Each structure stands twice: as structure tokens, then as C-alpha cells.
């Protein structure tokens, strides 16, 4: 299995909107010498984004990946949510959508939730915040 060697990582810059360039100390690329794991499923993933501009992940969401009937299943055990796909990318995108939808629907009906959903809503609020644009 080929191990990719990054040839060069160009130093990142941090720039303010008024183009005030700030120098950042960045070590150059470091190779990972051991071969990478071959298969990503089954495995775990920490979701740091829901790919939804309305929502921001503030605490990573643990997702378990496993195979079921030739499909990849992504499960967020803390939220009892699932995503499915023919491969890992589809399954991750599906669970991102599912969690975003769960957040938005619970937010909408947050004043009339049963005990189980109150608990789920509370868990979600620790992990995700609504992005408020001025």
C-alpha cells in the first residue's frame, strides 16, 4: 500500500480582513512512518461539522461506522441517530443531515417535548449551537 509523502506544506497565514499579515510559526510536514490502517469501516469518527451553515459543532460528536448488508452505517450512539450509504462518504453525509434535522426539529418544538426528547435536546445543545448572523 503506497504511503503518500507530502512534498511540501506551505506555511499557513493568518490574515485579518484588512490584510494585516501575521506570521505564524509552522513546523514543516511530518511524515507518518507507519502504514495507515487499510479499512475505515468498522471504525470511529469524531464529527466536527454538520456541513450546515446554520449549525456549528462545539463539541465533537462520536460516530461509529460499521457494515450492514453491504451498506455503511454511521451511528451516533449519544443521539440514537443513524446515517446510511453505499460507502463511508455517503453514510457520514447522511448522519450529518440527520443530526442537523434532529436539532432543527427539536429546537422548533422545544417547549413541548417528552422526557426522552428533553434529554436528547439537552445533549444536542451541549454539542451544537445555532449560528446567528447579525
Q: Give the residues lining the site for another protein (CB under 8 A).
A: 1-16, 19, 21-22, 24-32, 36-41, 45-49, 51, 56-60, 72, 86-90, 92
Q: In whole angstroms, give the CA distance from residue 28 to residue 97.
A: 36
Decide: 82 and 95 in contact? Cβ < 8 Å.
yes
C-alpha cell at 8: 511540501
CB of 109 to another protein, least distance (A): 26
Closest to another protein by CB, 13 vs 109, is: 13
CB of 124 to another protein, least distance (A): 15
CB within 8 A of 57, min separation 6: which ones?
47, 48, 49, 50, 127, 128
CB of 31 to another protein, least distance (A): 7
CB of 101 to another protein, least distance (A): 18
Closest to another protein by CB, 89 vs 119, is: 89
Closest to another protein by CB, 37 vs 115, is: 37
Q: Is the C-alpha dihedral spanning 113, 115, 118, 124 positive or negative?
A: negative
CA 17 to chain centre: 27
Closest to another protein by CB, 26 vs 118, is: 26
Amino acid at each position: 500500500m503506497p504511503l503518500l509523502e507530502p512534498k511540501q506544506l506551505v506555511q499557513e497565514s493568518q490574515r485579518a480582513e484588512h490584510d494585516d499579515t501575521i506570521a505564524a510559526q509552522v513546523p514543516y510536514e511530518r511524515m507518518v512512518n507507519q502504514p495507515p490502517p487499510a479499512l475505515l469501516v468498522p471504525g470511529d469518527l469524531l464529527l466536527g461539522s454538520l456541513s450546515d451553515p446554520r449549525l456549528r459543532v462545539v463539541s465533537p460528536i462520536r460516530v461509529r461506522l460499521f457494515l450492514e448488508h453491504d451498506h455503511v452505517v454511521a451511528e451516533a450512539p449519544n443521539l440514537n441517530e443513524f446515517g446510511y450509504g453505499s460507502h463511508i462518504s455517503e453514510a457520514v453525509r447522511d448522519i450529518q443531515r440527520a443530526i442537523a434535522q434532529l436539532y432543527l426539529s427539536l429546537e422548533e418544538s422545544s417547549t413541548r417535548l417528552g422526557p426522552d426528547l428533553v434529554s436528547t435536546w439537552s445533549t444536542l445543545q451541549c454539542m451544537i449551537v445555532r449560528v446567528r448572523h447579525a
